[in-house]
């Protein structure tokens, strides 16, 4: 439910302040109304002003009713919600939580984030969890979370070290290159935009889906190549990025990486951004040129060509290493 946001400790702290302000208002305002009415009655009686007394008597009942309503309505609303929806998040939103209860919410959220980091072994999830546990006031509980996250960090470091060692000895993926080459000069039909994903990666059992399903979004459009790039990037599968990064557009292939091996994926962006709009398969170095295999949506043909003959406005942004499903 949307009101599940009330279980957020940050929201709970804000709601506590709001509830306390309401508690002050429902006590102070009725007192002011009653004392004001009493003061006016005393003043009119002292002056023996019969007209003023008559007017005050008419206003007395509405003022008293207003004071009672201001005092009763907030509590009445809370009672009705609690009785009518005992299991809903409405009662949580209206509850004045203690410091201990708010800390319990922080600990519950911390447990979720730490567990996610342990499951994914993703650096961003680890960082999110590390930052969040600073909210835990109990030193012993926070230390337990820190111990678990140190183990996560060690596993991440070990995985990255293993990947680096693999990259140093990795000579390429011939099955990807061979399957891609079998389509050279063939008509890719209406599926040209999904050639790399549907004709090569998917049949061989490699991850072809991107972040958010089968596609990502850039320039307000759904683009499968962008989603795939984000997916491999999140898994630390990037072996090369364009010198200067996405903010440095390039119209030439300089310093092309030796780490990028045959079978790796080359992702292209247009201009100074990381909005990936094209993907190709790196096929290796041949006759003095880095070769790629990709498809052309205009003539529906799979091409084998030098990487620097691709576009005048789009250049490689990154090179990533495909990963088998379940690895």
Domain limits, the chain: 2-93, 107-167, 174-320
Question: 2 falls in which pLDDT band (50, 70, 90)?
Answer: very low
Which token pair is 161? 């070290």
Question: 166 falls in which pLDDT band (50, 70, 90)?
Answer: low
List, in sequence order, every residue forming a beta bridge with 218; answer none if it has no partner: 221
pTM above 0.75, yes or no: no
> Which of 81-90, 102-111, 196-205, 213-222 is least confident?
81-90
Q: Which of 147, 159, 150, 277 is nearest to 221 (CA)?
A: 277
Q: What pLDDT sits at residue 230?
A: 86
Spell out the residues 6+ positions from residue 260 whose beta carbon is closer than 8 angstroms to its own: 239, 240, 266, 282, 319
Q: Which of 126, 125, 143 is nearest to 134 (CA)?
A: 143
Which token pair is 213? 């399903």
**DSSP H helical ranges for the chain:** 9-47, 50-84, 90-93, 99-120, 123-132, 139-169, 174-181, 202-204, 224-234
Q: Are 108 and 27 in contact (CB under 8 A)?
A: no
> pLDDT tens, 7-35?
666 666 676 677 778 788 888 888 888 88
Task: Please give the mean pLDDT across all residues of the chain.
Answer: 80
Sheet holding 265-270, edge to edge: 238-241, 314-320, 265-270, 276-286, 289-296, 301-306
Give helix then strand counts, H and E, for the chain.
9, 8
> pLDDT tens, 121-158?
888 899 999 998 988 888 999 999 999 999 999 998 88
Question: 3 falls in which pLDDT band (50, 70, 90)?
Answer: very low
Q: What pLDDT sits at residue 21?
A: 83
Q: What pLDDT sits at residue 237?
A: 86
């Amino acid at each position: 439910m949307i009101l599940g946001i009330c279980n957020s400790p940050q929201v709970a702290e804000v709601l506590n302040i709001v509830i306390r302000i309401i508690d002050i208002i429902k006590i102070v305002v009725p007192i002011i109304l009653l004392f004001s009415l009493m003061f006016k009655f005393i003043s009119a009686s002292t002056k023996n002003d019969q007209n003023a007394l008559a007017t005050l008597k008419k206003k007395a009942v509405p003022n008293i009713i207003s004071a009672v309503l201001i005092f009763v309505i907030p509590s009445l609303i809370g009672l009705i919600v609690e009785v009518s929806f005992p299991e809903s998040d409405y009662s949580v939103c209206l509850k004045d939580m203690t410091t201990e209860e708010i800390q319990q919410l922080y600990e519950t959220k911390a447990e979720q984030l730490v567990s996610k980091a342990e499951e994914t072994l993703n650096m961003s999830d680890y960082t999110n969890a590390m930052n969040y546990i600073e909210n835990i006031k109990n030193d012993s509980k926070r230390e337990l979370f820190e111990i678990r996250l140190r183990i996560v960090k060690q596993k991440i470091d070990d995985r990255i070290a293993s990947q680096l060692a693999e990259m140093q000895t990795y000579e390429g993926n011939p099955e990807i290159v061979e399957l891609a080459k079998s389509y050279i000069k063939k008509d890719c039909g209406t599926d040209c935009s999904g050639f790399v994903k549907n004709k090569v990666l998917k049949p061989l059992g490699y991850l072809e889906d991107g972040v958010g399903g089968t596609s990502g979004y850039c320039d307000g459009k759904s683009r499968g190549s962008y989603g795939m790039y984000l997916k491999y990037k999140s898994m630390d599968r990037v072996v090369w990025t364009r010198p200067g990064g996405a903010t440095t557009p390039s119209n030439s292939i300089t310093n092309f990486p030796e780490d990028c091996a045959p079978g790796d994926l080359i992702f292209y962006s247009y201009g100074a951004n990381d909005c990936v709009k094209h993907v190709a398969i790196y096929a290796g170095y041949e006759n003095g040129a880095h070769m790629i295999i990709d498809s052309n949506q205009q003539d529906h043909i799979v091409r084998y060509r030098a990487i620097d003959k691709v576009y005048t406005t789009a250049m490689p942004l990154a090179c990533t290493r495909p990963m088998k499903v379940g690895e």
